[in-house]
Chain A
Amino acid sequence: SQKIEQNSEALNIQEGKTATLTCNYTNYSPAYLQWYRQDPGRGPVFLLLIRENEKEKRKERLKVTFDTTLKQSLFHITASQPADSATYLCALDIRDTDKLIFGTGTRLQVFP
């Protein structure tokens, strides 16, 4: 079955450092992959989308890579700030539908 894995352990990093979150998947070949941010008690918010033919995508301090051979996406936040503390979810599309499969998310804590 299709499976998405994100590190369930929280990632704690110091302000100013680069945070790197990992999303691995199996048994699937998505056309694109998405990343969302979720704050406690709130709905996820879309951040970035990367297509299967794109290796890298950037948006301000965010960078996403997509390696379809390794079946892995990396999500980087450079110059991290305490306000970046949240849970980050990756999601894969299901081809020929408009549905997404979400990972369980990784909680990021940026401390001063």
Chain B
Amino acid sequence: DVKVTQSSRYLVKRTGEKVFLECVQDMDHENMFWYRQDPGLGLRLIYFSYDVKMKEKGDIPEGYSVSREKKERFSLILESASTNQTSMYLCASSSATPHEQFFGPGTRLTVL
């Protein structure tokens, strides 16, 4: 059974802390994505990666960075967490074609 796993289901951090969210997929997919999901706004793409060490900004990259050192692992970093980054964070992966995305269970991050 194919799987995308995320390091935490729930996370509580304080303003200004550095936060690492990790995502691992076991499907040998080229593409990996980080989204955040907020009520009424849907899924918004933060960053994605189409290969190891490659990354591209999505629609809302400000305040975030990413790292992809290995094909199966894609990390999202909040350099200095702020309260407006409280959200559900979802990681996904896909092959190059036909692009259906497989999602992890999500991390509910609360920044106090």
A residues near B (Cβ < 8 Å) are 8, 32, 34, 41-46, 49, 89, 91, 93, 98-100, 102-105
Contact = CB atoms under 8 A, between A and B. Distances in A.
A104 B42 CA distance: 4
Contacts of A44: 43, 90, 101, 103
A43 B4 CA distance: 10
Contact of B92 (A32, A42, A43): A43
B62 interface: no
Nearest to B42: A104
Nearest to A102: B43
A89 B103 CA distance: 13
B98 A49 contact: yes
Contacts of A100: 99, 101
B92 A98 contact: no
B78 interface: no
Q: Which interface class (under 10, 10 to 19, 20 to 34, 35 or more) fits B? A: 20 to 34
B89 to A, nearest CB: 10
Interface in B59-85: none
A99 B90 CA distance: 15
A44 B104 CA distance: 8
B25 interface: no
Contacts of B12: none
Given A99-B45, A104-B42, A46 B96 contact: no
A89 B43 contact: yes
A73 to B, nearest CB: 15
B61 to A, nearest CB: 13
A104 B98 contact: no
A75 to B, nearest CB: 15
B100 interface: yes
30 contacts: A8-B40, A34-B99, A34-B101, A42-B105, A43-B4, A43-B90, A43-B103, A43-B104, A43-B105, A43-B106, A44-B90, A44-B101, A46-B100, A49-B99, A49-B100, A89-B42, A89-B43, A93-B99, A98-B30, A98-B48, A98-B50, A98-B94, A98-B96, A98-B99, A99-B33, A99-B45, A99-B58, A102-B42, A104-B40, A105-B42
